[in-house]
Amino acid sequence: MTTSTTSYTFSKHERLCSATAIETLFTTGSSKNVRPLKLIYQPNTDASNKIVIVVPKRNFKRANKRNVLKRRLREAYRLHKHLLNDVQPKYNLALLFTAHQETDYATIEKSTIELLLHLNTIIPSIVN
């Protein structure tokens, strides 16, 4: 029986909670769009990647719709965050849902994977 070293948890220390860090991320961070998502990223000095999930109230007035989309985004990130495990330095990330209509999980997952792979390939060029 093999043991997996991949952790599929999404704990508190992986969430970006600091208001100043979030503001700095949105003002000075770089971004990449893959419909229906937008990833904003910026290097941090922490030991792990930190992420904030955003679904704008402007696009979805009903809280239950926003919550469903946030759950889908968190789940897609949680299952595929291992794509960023070997990345140095670690990053502050913001994952924004930019579409104006509700989207199924498969589309969100595909876009999340594409964004994380993009971040994984662009980081070595930033560091060097």
User: Where do the structural domains in the chain lie, given as residue ranges?
Assistant: 12-122
Q: Which fold has domain 12-122?
A: Ribosomal Protein S5; domain 2 (3.30.230)
pLDDT at 97 over 90: yes
Q: How confident is the model over 60-75, as a mean pLDDT?
A: 96
Residue 70 backbone class (left: φ over 0; alpha: ψ -120 to 50; beta: rest): alpha
Q: How confident is the model at residue 120, as a pLDDT?
A: 86
Q: How confident is the model at residue 128, as a pLDDT?
A: 46
Q: How confident is the model over 61-66, as a mean pLDDT?
A: 96
- Three-class secondary structure of residue 3 per DSSP: coil
Question: Which among 36, 7, 14, 31 has a CA at the least distance from the CA of 112?
Answer: 36
Distance set, CA 44 to CA 49, 78, 80, 105 (Å): 8, 20, 20, 29
Q: How confident is the model over 99-114, as a mean pLDDT?
A: 95
Q: How confident is the model at residue 1, as a pLDDT?
A: 45
| pTM for the structure as a whole | 0.86
